[in-house]
Amino acid sequence: MAVPILKQSHTLIASIQAALSDRDLLQLRDDLADLVGRHRARGVIVDVTALDVLDSFATRTLRGIAYTTKLRGAETVIVGIQPEVALAMVQLGLTLEGVPTALDLEEGLAFLDGRAETADDE
């Protein structure tokens, strides 16, 4: 299942709608790496609210998305990790080291706005 990716000003929003296979996740990573350039995006939000499992592969792929888009000049924020999912990740020893997270889409957008303002001030 393809993940719909919306563009809102300089931000791409990937809103995951249902469970994703490993292949779908890799497709999302590749699509975002490409779309960041095409839309000149500075921020990416990956909304995982609909995911009931974030296992080792999914976690590693989300880190991959964040690092890849960073190399393309856009900051990625992962939003919407559910409480049960967070608990299972901790028990499994999974982290999103170095990848910003936010509670939901609204907080994710606020985080990226804050980053943009800081960048403009410099």
Partner 1 sequence: MSDLHVGTAVRVRIQSSADIVTARQEGRSMAATLGFTNTTLTIIATAISEVARNIVEYAKEGEISIAPVGNGIVRGLQIVARDQGPGIVDLDTAMRDGFSTSKSLGMGLPGAKRLMDQFEISSAIGEGTTVKMTKWIG
Q: Which residues bind partner 1 (CB under 8 A)?
A: 19-23, 52-57, 60, 82-85, 87-88, 91-94
Pick from 106, 118, 103: which is nearest to 11 by CA?
A: 106
Closer CB to partner 1, 88 or 105, in the complex: 88
Q: What phi and psi, each to the nearest 5 degrees, are found at residue 71?
A: -65, -25
CB of 48 to partner 1, least distance (A): 13
CB of 1 to partner 1, least distance (A): 10
- What's the longest Cα–Cα distance across the chain? 41
In terms of Cβ atoms closer than 10 Å to its own Cβ (0-12, 13-18, 19+), residue 119 is exposed
Closer CB to partner 1, 1 or 103, in the complex: 1
Closer CB to partner 1, 55 or 107, in the complex: 55
CB of 94 to partner 1, least distance (A): 7
Q: Is the dihedral of CA 103, 109, 110, 114 positive or negative?
A: positive
CB of 20 to partner 1, least distance (A): 8
Closer CB to partner 1, 11 or 59, in the complex: 59
Interatomic CA distance for residues 31 and 120, integer angstroms: 28
